[in-house]
Amino acid sequence: MNELVFSGIQPTGNLHLGNYLGAIKNWVALQHKYRSIFCIVDMHAITVPQNPAELLHNVRLTAATYIACGIDPEKNIIFAQSSVPGHAELAWILGCSTPMGWLNRMTQFKDKVNTSKLELKDELKKIKANLNEYHEAFFLMRSKKARALASIKKSTDELESLIEDQNKVEKAELGLFSYPVLMAADILLYKTTHVPVGEDQKQHLELARDVAGAFNRQFKTEYFPIPEPMMADWTSARVMSLRDGMKKMSKSEESDYSRINLTDDANAIRLKIQKAKTDTERSVTKNLGERPEARNLLNIYCALANIKVGQEVWADNYSGLSNRWGGFGDFKKALADAVVSAIAPISTEIHRVMNDTSYIDSILKSGAEKAGAIAEKNMREIKRLVGFPVV
């Protein structure tokens, strides 16, 4: 009976089809079964620099998107993370039970800043100086060895530019590094039991489970439930870019053609799908294991058409789908119809809700009050466990 769903999205731009299929579509279904809290994680957003006016706009846009997708703001809590002080308070407490090594392993951090040792640079400088000397000497001697050394020199140049990147580590902000601890705090502050997220958040969620365990052990309590991930149950809860089947669809990708925004109208959606990258294979469903773009488009189609294919879709000529379309022209038309019918009504609704800022602000205010009440009660209990005075 104490089951509770919590999830969040960063207000860093237009939400897209990946956010919808990976997260929100699942939330809409779960809101009828569980007490649910849907957060707009603006404190996570500032782990990379944001323009203040844009950030505020994006917080409202994200709230409008939740509502437009079908999250009922009366039945559930919709609020901005920064409005409830418990998130930051608990993040500090949990940070004191989290080994840095756990955070070092997070791939999202590693993707954003390239990590390794700075001392390498000096060592490499010495090697390069030596190489240059030998190369010159062999070159003058017209020795064959000069060619081999030239190629080693090229490798060291590449290595040097890699090491340059490592300077980024020194400049990386503390917030970006400790981001997963804040995420653990978001979840644990409400004693959340279920967290519906896309597959890309799996590692962060595992950390939240570890952090909950570490706190419980340290304070000899079972205060925090260990939160369960809830991934969407279609083939792979990760929607890839329409331009590159190996990259995930993302708000920060430069090309707007890489994603379907939830604010796109029918024309924009059709155009983007028409332009989506494919390959030269004629069949839509053959050899999908080696065709990330085709696989992604098919995956989107199946998710929208509620076709649960599991791994079978990767098999050649998957019987249910292989005869459906003559070729990509046919398939893309069907796909565009499916995306338009799911997304165009959401887009219209987002624009309608966004016209009424005071309505959105009132939802955020009442959401913050409801979330704040739970958080305050839990924070008092947590402080007692830690040994802080509760006044």
Q: Is 65 in the site for ligand TRP (CB under 6 A)?
A: no
Restricted to residues 9-48, the positions that interact with ligand AMP (CB under 6 A) are: 9-10, 18-19, 22-23
| Count of positions on this chain that bind ligand AMP (CB under 6 A) | 16
238 binds, among ligand TRP, ligand AMP, none (CB under 5 to 8 A by kind): ligand AMP
CB nearer to ligand AMP: pick between 93 and 196? 196
- Out of 112, 202, 286, 383, the active site residue is 112
Angstrom distance (rounded) from CA 125 to CA 34? 59
- Concerning whether 272 is annotated as a catalytic residue, the answer is no
Restricted to residues 33-52, the positions that interact with ligand TRP (CB under 6 A) are: 41, 44
Considering only CA atoms, which of 341, 279, 263 is closest in space to residue 57? 263
Angstrom distance (rounded) from CA 64 to CA 353? 6
30 binds, among ligand TRP, ligand AMP, none (CB under 5 to 8 A by kind): none
- Out of 121, 128, 202, 251, the active site residue is 251
CB nearer to ligand AMP: pick between 184 and 239? 239
Q: Near ligand TRP by CB under 6 A, which window of 2-10, 69-77, 269-277, 357-365? A: 2-10
Q: Is 10 in the site for ligand TRP (CB under 6 A)?
A: yes
| Nearest approach, Cβ of residue 177 and ligand TRP (Å) | 14
Contact 18, 58 (CB under 8 A): no
Residue in this structure with the two tokens 């913050």, named with its chain if needed: 368
Contact 234, 302 (CB under 8 A): yes
CB nearer to ligand TRP: pick between 7 and 36? 7
Strand stretches in 10-86, DSSP E: 35-40, 77-80
Q: Is 284 in the site for ligand AMP (CB under 6 A)?
A: no
Contact 31, 72 (CB under 8 A): yes
Region for 191 from its dihedrals, namely left if φ exceeds 0, alpha if ψ lies in -120 to 50, beta otherwise: left
Restricted to residues 156-185, the positions that interact with ligand TRP (CB under 6 A) are: 183
Both structure tokens of 83: 């409005």
Q: Tell me the CA distances in angstroms from 46 to 12, 18, 43, 95, 346, one per residue in order.
A: 9, 21, 6, 18, 27
Q: Is 180 in the site for ligand AMP (CB under 6 A)?
A: no
Q: Is 6 in the site for ligand TRP (CB under 6 A)?
A: yes
- Residue selected from 24, 195, 353, 382 as contacting ligand TRP according to rule CB under 6 A: 195
Q: Is 239 in the site for ligand TRP (CB under 6 A)?
A: no
Q: Is 225 in the site for ligand AMP (CB under 6 A)?
A: no
Contact 296, 243 (CB under 8 A): no
- Out of 25, 191, 248, 332, the active site residue is 248
Q: Output the CA torsion sign for 34, 72, 341, 194.
A: negative
Q: Is 201 in the site for ligand TRP (CB under 6 A)?
A: yes
| Nearest approach, Cβ of residue 39 and ligand TRP (Å) | 7
Both structure tokens of 1: 């009976």
Which residues have a Cβ under 8 Å from the Cβ of 194 and sit 6 or more positions away? 3, 4, 5, 6, 30, 34, 227, 228, 230
- Concerning whether 112 is annotated as a catalytic residue, the answer is yes
Which residues have a Cβ under 8 Å from the Cβ of 62 and sit 6 or more positions away? 9, 11, 15, 40
- Residue selected from 43, 67, 90, 197 as contacting ligand AMP according to rule CB under 6 A: 197
Angstrom distance (rounded) from CA 189 to CA 79? 14
CB nearer to ligand TRP: pick between 7 and 235? 7
The catalytic residues are 112, 248, 251
In the complex, the residues that contact ligand TRP under the rule CB under 6 A are 6-8, 10, 41, 44, 183, 186-187, 195, 197, 201, 204
In the complex, the residues that contact ligand AMP under the rule CB under 6 A are 9-10, 18-19, 22-23, 197-198, 200-201, 237-239, 248-249, 251
